[in-house]
Homo-oligomer: A and B are copies of this chain.
Amino acid sequence: MAFVNEHYLKLAAGYLFPEIARRVNAFAAATPTAAPRIIRCGIGDVTEPLPPATIEAMHKAVDELAHRETFKGYGPGTGYEFVRKAIADGDFRSRGIAIDEDEIFLSDGSKSDCGSVIEILAIGPASRGGNRIAITDPVYPVYVDSNVMMGNTGACAIDGSYEGIVYMPCTAENGFVADIPDRPVDIVYLCFPNNPTGAMIDRPKLKAWVDYALKNRAIILYDVAYDAYIRDPSLPRSIYEIDGAKDCAMEFHSFSKSGGFTGVRCGYTVLPKALAAYTASGERVALNPLWTRRWNTRSNGVSYPVQAAAAALYSPEGRAQVRQLVDFYMGNAKILRDGCAAMGLQVFGGENAPYVWARCPNGMRSWDFFDLMLREANVVITPGAGFGACGEGYFRISAFNSRANVEEVVRRMKALPTSAPVGAARV
């Protein structure tokens, strides 16, 4: 008799975004006149066309596959050297950070990597030889759910939290930057610019995290999917800007939001050769060879035309086009941020991130405001509570949209019956 992975049965409800899609579809079906008016600012999906440099590179790569002389079959599992070199040069060495090509692993996106990386770490809960895992609240759901599926947690409590995870509350009080835990943990997920709150960490705080990890031989899983959106040059764009980080951190990168690759699918992970974890008996095991082995065994790498497109992002034209794209979305973020502020909402993010994070008006709960926005404004946002208990009472609004849509969203939000100043009585 085949046995199922029972850990899946612990998962609370559906994954957030399918649940949002379900509610939107239900509303659209029930209210066909409103359906064409719906503007989607929920899931952080880009809307603008790909940079021309990537289009050109993909056409060229496709043509190579059309001729025997230039045909490409299986590539290296972790990515072609031309891409890994472009990344190492463009994102690290040009900025004074020594990262080798074989510390870079190309993938079909950082979502996959964030979920897969725990496979090379101990499986099971801390109480049975696994790792003590620290996760921020609110958080990108993939970190939590992938650990639940692997059996690294206990059951789900009524508030949606999982037994065995060390939750690190991120609130308005700490600027949505997690405080160093008061007890040792082994694996820490950090994401800056943060999804969902749009918060950024400064260099001293990131150094404190690196120092903590080195002291506790913990590993930081550092997600920088939105690094292209950092405007303030004093803020760290990579954890490897901090001394010692190569001994304690992996870093997850995405081309989804920089190059608009949400449908093209490509990202990469940096796993330094210095990074190690330990056996139960305390023996040090370098993780780079394990991750290499995992890639070679489980994958044949990323589609060749996609790799060509990724490399094109690092050409002078590609870089300029990415900058333009990011500037455009950041212009949207400013409009949304200002619009929410003008409504009297307490607003966060949107300055070094494409997400604006705001408190729901009049003390409303997240899903209630989601439903109101959908029903009254026909605008899809993401309920903060979908990202964790500390997200309750907030919502996330995404800057990934056309300018006209973003301006229309602000107009409709201002016209909402609830748009009285925070704290004011609801009429």
Q: Mark A285-315, 1 if CB is under 8 A from B, else 0.
A: 1010010011011111111111000000000
Inter-chain contact A265/B3, CB cutoff 8 Å: no
Q: Which residue of B lies closest to A65 (CB)?
A: B50
A186 at the interface (CB under 8 A from B): yes
A363 at the interface (CB under 8 A from B): no
Inter-chain contact B3/A277, CB cutoff 8 Å: yes
A4 at the interface (CB under 8 A from B): yes
A265: chain B residues within 8 A (beta carbon)? 300-303
Q: Counting chain B CB atoms within 10 Å of each CB, which of A49, A146, A266 scores highest?
A: A49
A149 at the interface (CB under 8 A from B): yes
Inter-chain contact B4/A120, CB cutoff 8 Å: yes
A266: chain B residues within 8 A (beta carbon)? 303
Inter-chain contact B123/A4, CB cutoff 8 Å: no
Inter-chain contact A300/B262, CB cutoff 8 Å: yes
A216: chain B residues within 8 A (beta carbon)? 1
Inter-chain contact A4/B55, CB cutoff 8 Å: no
A166 at the interface (CB under 8 A from B): no
Inter-chain contact B1/A217, CB cutoff 8 Å: yes
User: Taking the full assembly, how many copies of this chain does it contain?
Assistant: 2
Inter-chain contact A120/B8, CB cutoff 8 Å: yes
Which of A105-113, A233-241, A379-387 lies at the interface? A105-113
A122 at the interface (CB under 8 A from B): yes
8 Å CB contacts to B: which residues of A1-35? 1-9, 11, 14-15, 17-18
A59 at the interface (CB under 8 A from B): yes
Which of A70-78, A93-101, A201-209, A329-337 lies at the interface? A70-78
Measured CB to CB, the closest approach of chain B to A260, in angstroms, equals 8
Q: Counting chain B CB atoms within 10 Å of each CB, which of A50, A301, A305 scores highest?
A: A305
Q: Which residue of B lies closest to A144 (CB)?
A: B297
Which of A39-47, A339-347, A354-362, A407-415 lies at the interface? A39-47
A129 at the interface (CB under 8 A from B): yes
Q: How large is the interface on A (under 10, 10 to 19, 20 to 34, 35 or more residues)?
A: 35 or more
Known A279-B9, A306-B303; judge A4-B293 contact (CB<8 A).
no
Q: With the chains together, A359 CA to B45 CA distance in Å?
A: 55
Q: With the chains together, A277 CA to B6 CA distance in Å?
A: 10
Cβ 8 A contact of A66, one of B18, B43, B52, B68: B52
A263: chain B residues within 8 A (beta carbon)? 65, 71-75, 303-304
Cβ 8 A contact of A73, one of B17, B47, B287: B47
Q: With the chains together, A94 CA to B408 CA distance in Å?
A: 48
A121 at the interface (CB under 8 A from B): yes
Inter-chain contact B120/A297, CB cutoff 8 Å: no
Measured CB to CB, the closest approach of chain B to A2, in angstroms, equals 4
Q: Which residue of B lies closest to A148 (CB)?
A: B297
Q: With the chains together, A276 CA to B2 CA distance in Å?
A: 8
A184: chain B residues within 8 A (beta carbon)? 1
Known A68-B47, A298-B115, A306-B303; judge A121-B5 contact (CB<8 A).
yes
A38: chain B residues within 8 A (beta carbon)? none
A15: chain B residues within 8 A (beta carbon)? 293, 296-297
Q: With the chains together, A181 CA to B8 CA distance in Å?
A: 30
Q: Mark A224-236, 1 if CB is under 8 A from B, else 0.
A: 0000000000000
A376 at the interface (CB under 8 A from B): no
Cβ 8 A contact of A123, one of B71, B123, B278: B123
Measured CB to CB, the closest approach of chain B to A250, in angstroms, equals 11
Interface residues of chain A, those whose CB is within 8 Å of chain B, are 1-9, 11, 14-15, 17-18, 43, 45-50, 52, 55, 58-59, 62-63, 65-68, 71-75, 108-109, 111-112, 115-116, 119-123, 129-131, 141-142, 145-146, 149-151, 184, 186-187, 216-219, 260, 262-266, 276-280, 285, 287, 290, 293-294, 296-306, 402
Could you list 12 examples of A-B contacts with CB < 8 Å? Answer: A1-B218, A4-B120, A4-B121, A6-B122, A6-B280, A15-B297, A47-B71, A50-B65, A71-B260, A72-B263, A73-B263, A74-B262
